[in-house]
Amino acid sequence: MLGLAVVYFVTAWFGLTQATISVASPVWPATGVALAGLYLLGISRWPALLVVAVATYMGFGDLPLSAALIIGVGDTLEAVLGVLLLRRLGFSPLFARTHDVLAFTTVAVTCTLASILLGTLGLMVAGRPPASGFALTAWVWWLGDAMGALVVGSAVLLLSRRHPEPRWREALVLAGFTLAVGLWSFSGCRQGPPVSYAQVFLLFPLVVWAALRFGSHGAALSTLLIAAVSIWGTLAGHGPFSSTTHGPTVDLLELQLFMAVVAFTGLLLAAARTERGHANAQLELLATAVRGVREGVLICEVRPGEEARLVFANESFQEMVGWRHEALVGRTPWQLCGTGMEPEVVQGMEKALREGGFFRGEVVLAHKDGSRVYSEMQLSPVRDATGRVAHFVATHRDVTTQKLLQAKLVSAERIAAVGTLAAGVGHEINNPLAYLVLNLEGAEQGLKRGPEGLAEARARLECAREGAERIRVIVRDLKVFSRQAGEERAMLDVNEVVVPALRMAAHAVRPRARLVEEFGQPPRVMGSEARLGQVMLNLLVNALQAIPEGNPEKHEVRVRTGSDAAGRALVEVSDTGCGMSPTVQAQIFDPFFTTKSPGEGTGLGLAICQQIVQAHGGELQVRSEEGKGSVFTVLLPAAEAASVPAPVPVAPAPEPTHPPRRRILIIDDEPRLAQSMRMLIEPSHDVFVTTRGAEALAWVGEGQRFDLVLCDLQMPGTTGMDVYSHLRAHAPEMAERLVFISGGAYTQATRDFVRSVRNRILEKPVRPDELLATIDEALAENAA
């Protein structure tokens, strides 16, 4: 405070010595000292200014205490208000921005009004009304304070900080030239012809030199040096602003206006130079970063009425596509793309380029050697000052290796899902294969009998044809789920995608739960049959693995198709299994997360399902409650409004049997196989056929007895194991006459049962002669 008071006192005393109207002086450096001092030291130092100002006006201005106090308050208030306004405007004392120069100039010309108003009021209280009028007095007072703030205040603020680029030799040369030209301009004659002003304008190039080479420090100090020389010369009666007719008041006012132009121009030019330097440094930094970043970066220029064209490609992108920068510049974005891009990606890029929007997606780039490069691209518009899109910036991340690895993981998971159902698939093949073989054998026997056997041979061949068709469908399903290619998109009926997955998983689900199908009318979708089929198959495998074996009557796996409220195709797979806790549910889509025991799961199934569904523009949702089951919902965007529901095959009713010599019961859930066996055995025996184990047990409960029972081991609902247990309890003699026919035991309970029983077990497909021989042997043993 003491230091501030001393400097303020000296500058205020110097200003009062140059006062031209009472205490109104066109030269008032004290304002600059007060403003810079309070900004640097804090507003709390204002008492030093007030005390010194009052003392100065009383001692050197010969004013009474009341008038000196009013004027001192005005001088202090203009500094306090100036500091508050500078901080409000975000001013920086480095003057490194044009904003700072404009803010400081605004403060210099506005906050000084407080000193003018209170100053003129103080003169009125002192009884010193100016003879020249209050208007001229206010003008002199304002211009002196404003120039003091602009010239001296800026110099003090900048001198308080060290200049980053001293260059002392050049600075001394510049100072020497400025002093020499200033003395030459302001030590000559008074105002004369207009040509006498020419030498004053030689100061402007020096200020420009100082601003461009030394920044705001150079501009402020050169302006301060010019101000000192010009004021000295004008007061001494020299220079173009000195005259004998107007007097020192007008002379100094003209000089101050000249200095205002010099100071403002120098500071503004220095700030523009600094801003441009920072901008160039930032651009160089960005250019270096873009050139060195590991992701590919492209910049395309957009001109009105023309297609966007490439103007820059960094080294990473050049390596990605194998082209040099010269070969890439001038191309359109579409010339860089390869074949095989998804239609929705192409549409998204076209819309972004057309409307100036953002886009993010996976694109295919064409490599120089003809190969395809998969890239994750983010496209962003860059707008100019008018808001028009002038450029597009695209960043590319090469995901080709990741794409290949992901394809291998998808294939491995798909094969793992099919492998889980391998035994059931074998059973589904063995059933039609068995009645195919049997009917071919029967057709051969009918043909041997001559014309009377042609009708039977024709019927058996028709059954054989149906069996071959059934095998073809199963093999087709296997090909769909196991093919490596399959990214081709086509218009799909969702029901037709679900049905093969159900056929694949049906036999695996039956020992655990009832399989309930609810086919609605979902809209058609654009997608890959293999990929969406894998999703359905994985969801069915997850559902059956969530249900324990042994109680199929208590559990169900329900598959429902239809559409949601938004018109999207919907496939819902629900189960009544163990369900999931919220903690587990939050992690099920994380790769390699699994709750299964080692060897039973990779933790990739649901993660891959989610990726496949999202790649089709859909969602995979889950709801689950621990102990009550889970619901997985696949939502896919509709490609068109209409769809055709998938037909649900209806099992044919068993044909009526004719009385044979022995009563033989056939229990098999496959109607065609049961029918084929009936047709083979019927000429010699009385055959009874049922496709449900529960119905066969009901017949036994009604008192019916059979000489031999041929029973499928794996059936929905009541299995062959259940039939055996019931017969052991209620008709033990029939349990001994039971012959099992199996398509393959794949559950632990079935494997344990097969090892424990003594009954004959025939593996599908059974040859006709083998079946007949087994029946004869069993009947003979029973008779003995």
pLDDT of residue 195: 53
CATH topology of domain 663-783: Rossmann fold (3.40.50)
Q: What pLDDT score does 422 carry?
A: 58
Alpha-helix residue ranges (DSSP H) falling in 356-453: 400-420, 422-448
How many residues can be counted in the chain? 784
**Most confidently modeled of 40-54, 166-180, 428-442, 508-522?**
40-54
Does pLDDT of 182 surpass 80? Answer: yes
Give dist(CA 589, CA 592) in Å, integer: 9
pLDDT band at 717 (very low <50, low <70, confident <90, very high): confident
User: What's the mean pLDDT in 30-39?
Assistant: 94
Query: For position 510, what pLDDT does the model report?
Result: 80
pLDDT category at 247 given cuts 50, 70, 90 is low
Residue 723's Cβ-count burial label (10 Å; 0-12, 13-18, 19+) is buried
Lowest mean pLDDT among 410-419, 442-451, 767-776: 410-419
- Amino acid found at 48: A
- CA distances (Å), origin 780, targets 656, 712, 724: 27, 22, 21
The whole-number pLDDT of residue 479 equals 54
**Structure confidence at residue 241 (pLDDT):** 74
The domain segmentation of the chain, as residue ranges, is: 1-161, 164-292, 293-398, 492-649, 663-783
Is 663-783 in the same CATH topology as 293-398? no
Question: Residue 642 has what pLDDT?
Answer: 40
Q: Please tell me the predicted confidence (pLDDT) of residue 657.
A: 42
Of 215-219, 641-645, 741-745, minimum mean pLDDT range: 641-645
Q: Given this model, what pLDDT does residue 132 score?
A: 64
CA distance 565 to 253: 80
Query: In this structure, are residues 751 and 713 in contact, taking their beta carbons and an 8 Å threshold?
Result: no
Residue 530 predicted with pLDDT over 90? no
- Average the pLDDT over each of 12-16, 83-87, 460-464 and give the range with the smallest value: 460-464
The answer to which of 124-128, 140-144, 365-369, 505-509 has the lowest mean pLDDT is 505-509
Query: Per-residue DSSP letters for 329-367?
Result: TT--GGGGB-S---HHHHHHHHHHHHHT--EEEEEEEEP
Query: For 587-612, what is the mean pLDDT?
Result: 66
Could you tell me the pLDDT band of residue 387, with boundaries at 50, 70 and 90? Answer: confident
pLDDT on residue 453? 78
**Is residue 12 within 8 Å of 37, Cβ to Cβ?**
no
DSSP E strands, 220-316? 296-301, 309-313
Q: What is the largest CA-CA distance in the chain?
A: 156
On the 0-12 / 13-18 / 19+ scale of CB atoms within 10 A, 482 is middle
Query: Looking at per-residue confidence, does 781 or 634 come out higher?
Result: 634
Number of Cβ within a 10 Å radius of residue 665 = 24
3-state secondary structure string across 468-479: HHHHHHHHHHHH
Among 405-414, 525-534, 559-568, 574-583, the minimum mean pLDDT is found in 405-414
Residue 529 · residue 490 · CB < 8 Å: yes
Measure the N-to-C terminal CA separation of the chain; round to a whole number of Å: 130
Give the separation between CA 454 and CA 178, rounded to whole angstroms: 126
How large is the average pLDDT for residues 39-65?
Answer: 91
Angular region, 429: left φ>0, alpha ψ -120 to 50, beta rest? alpha
Q: d(Cα 733, Cα 725) in Å, to the nearest integer?
A: 12
Residue range 293-398 forms a domain whose CATH class is alpha beta
- Look at 290 and 204; give whichever has higher pLDDT: 204
**H-only helix segments in 449-598:** 454-482, 494-509, 529-545, 582-585
Helix (H, G, I), strand (E, B) or coil at 295: coil
Joined together, the tokens standing for residue 405 give 């690895």
pLDDT for 601-647, tens place per residue?
555 567 778 878 888 889 999 998 888 889 999 999 998 644 444 44
Beta strands in 593-685 (DSSP E): 619-625, 629-636, 663-667
Residue 341: which pLDDT band, with cuts at 50, 70 and 90?
Answer: confident
The domain defined by 492-649 carries CATH number 2.40.50.140:
no
Answer CATH for 1-161 from 2.60.40, 3.40.50, 1.10.1760, 1.10.260: 1.10.1760
DSSP character at residue 512: T
Taking a C-beta distance cutoff of 8 angstroms, is the pair 158, 274 a contact? no
Long-range contacts of 107-110 (CB under 8 A, 24+ apart): 107/35, 107/82, 107/149, 108/35, 108/82, 108/146, 108/149, 108/150, 108/153, 109/142, 109/146, 110/85
Q: What's 616's DSSP letter?
A: T
Cα–Cα distance measured from residue 530 to residue 562, given in angstroms and rounded to the nearest whole number: 20
Q: If you average pLDDT over every residue of the chain, what do you get?
A: 82
pLDDT at 535 > cutoff 90: no
Helix H segments across 599-652?
605-615
Residue 660 has pLDDT above 70, yes or no: no
- The sign of the dihedral angle between the CA atoms of 720, 726, 727, 729 is positive
Say if residue 486's pLDDT is above 70: no
- 674 within 8 A of 689, measured Cβ to Cβ: yes
pLDDT interval class at 342 (50, 70, 90) = confident
How many other CB atoms are found less than 10 A from the CB of residue 402? 12
Supply the pLDDT for residue 33: 95
Q: Which pLDDT does position 249 carry in this prediction?
A: 67
Q: Residue 292 pLDDT > 90, yes or no?
A: no
- pLDDT for the residue 485: 44
User: Over the stretch 75-119, which tens digit does the pLDDT of each residue have?
Assistant: 999 999 999 999 999 999 988 889 999 999 999 999 988 998 898
Q: Look up residue 590 and give its amino acid.
A: D
- pLDDT at 370 > cutoff 80: yes
pLDDT at residue 258, rounded to an integer: 82
Task: Report the distance separating Cα 217 and Cα 157, nearest Å.
Answer: 9
Assess contact for 477 and 470: CB atoms under 8 A. Answer: no
* pLDDT for 51: 94
pLDDT category of residue 416 using cuts at 50, 70 and 90 = low
Would you state the structure tokens that stand for residue 359, as one six-digit string?
């886009």
Percent of all residues in the chain with a pLDDT value above 70, rounded to a whole number: 85
pLDDT (0 to 100) of residue 110: 92
Q: Indicate if the pLDDT at residue 672 is higher than 70.
A: yes
The better pLDDT of the pair 783, 83 is held by 83
